[in-house]
Amino acid sequence: MKKIYYFFSLAMLLGSIKGFSQGCIAVRHMASATGNPNSPASMMKGGQFQFTASYRYLHSFRHFVGTQEQKERIENGTQVINTSHAFDFGLSYAVNPRLSFSLNLPYLDNDRSSLYEHYGNSIEANPEQKRFHTYSKGVGDMRVSATYWLFNPLTHLKGNLAIGVGVKAPTGDANVQGDFHKLDKNKKEYIQRKALDQSMQLGDSGWGYSIEMQGYQSVFKNASVYYNGFYMFSPKTVNAATGFSVPDQFAGRAGLSYSVAPKKGISLALGGRVEGLPAIDRIGNSEGSRRPGYIISVEPSVIINTHHHSFIFGVPYAVVRNRIKSWSDMQDPTGKKHGDAAFADYLITATYAYRF
């Protein structure tokens, strides 16, 4: 039973990769074969199911160009603030202990406040420095995925490796509209209705295809290293309705997990994670508006497992935030063009799973 709880803790940790999205870097919140704790399906008998519900919170407000923070944005009060509450609901089915299939659907609730999108950042255009909000709320892009453990997890408790593939469907609204407060030449306010910022869109309008891997290896009693990775290919170039690019996405994690109370199913973990958007897609071209970049975080987690229930809580804290040059930035003949993006200091993630 101690070994089962410990393996369940590892599987739960491996399944927590998708705390996606860091403010203006519009990495979609979604789940995958490694994206929710469906890897505990490796401890399930054929024909069993697992329901998962995950939550992620972020509050982004620090602007970066490359790895250099634009501290003057906060000092001047012109920073863009994104606050996101994201939920993901999933159902996994185990054909046998090695093969499982999953269906995941996110629900997003976003708030964005800024000056530049409305009256403007400058004192001349916006003397009172008024800040306005835009909102988006609804279902995101759905994913269907499959995971296969290379070795029988019922017998290989000290180490294993799984591979996965997935398909993302464009079920989320990729043209959410909002009200923007503008001033005419007589300083009279009017409302302009248009598409929200790309970080606020519920979907990206394109189909995506992912490859994934996850694994663990025991290193000493009650301790194991874990690792997982994810890359999504997005062949579609641009969302014609908004002009936003449909970018690839990536994520990876590695760390050490230690069972502090094996009989009670309690484990602690400490690792690192990276997630982001590349500037250049692997399939198709990379035109359109995008804010590529990546975040490297230190990620402490606590995992609690019982026979049917599991819970994981983590707070990834950003140590590197890099808004890299986009494809359009690279077209500047002077080489000086380099857009910015806002990032969060940390995420709060929580996932609950019930196996039946």
The per-residue pLDDT of the chain, averaged, comes to: 90
| Residue bearing the bigger pLDDT, 347 or 7 | 347
**Does residue 163 have a pLDDT over 50?**
yes
Percent of the chain with pLDDT over 70: 88
Note the pLDDT tens digit of each residue in 40-78: 333 677 899 999 999 999 999 999 999 999 999 999 999
State the amino acid at position 101 in one-letter form: F
Note the pLDDT tens digit of each residue in 282-314: 999 999 999 999 999 999 999 999 888 999 999
Q: What is the pLDDT of residue 14?
A: 64
**Does residue 16 have a pLDDT over 80?**
no
Q: What is the pLDDT of residue 35?
A: 35
Note the pLDDT tens digit of each residue in 97-110: 999 999 999 999 99
Place of tokens 């970049």: 293
**Does residue 180 have a pLDDT over 60?**
yes
**Does residue 90 have a pLDDT over 90?**
yes
**Does residue 201 have a pLDDT over 60?**
yes
| Confidence at 3, pLDDT banded by 50, 70, 90 | low
Q: What is the pLDDT of residue 21?
A: 52
Q: What is the pLDDT of residue 83?
A: 97
Q: What is the pLDDT of residue 37?
A: 35
| Confidence at 7, pLDDT banded by 50, 70, 90 | low
Note the pLDDT tens digit of each residue in 205-257: 999 999 999 999 999 999 999 999 999 999 999 999 999 999 999 999 999 99
| Residue bearing the bigger pLDDT, 11 or 285 | 285
- CA–CA dist 194, 175 (Å, integer): 9
| Residue bearing the bigger pLDDT, 99 or 3 | 99
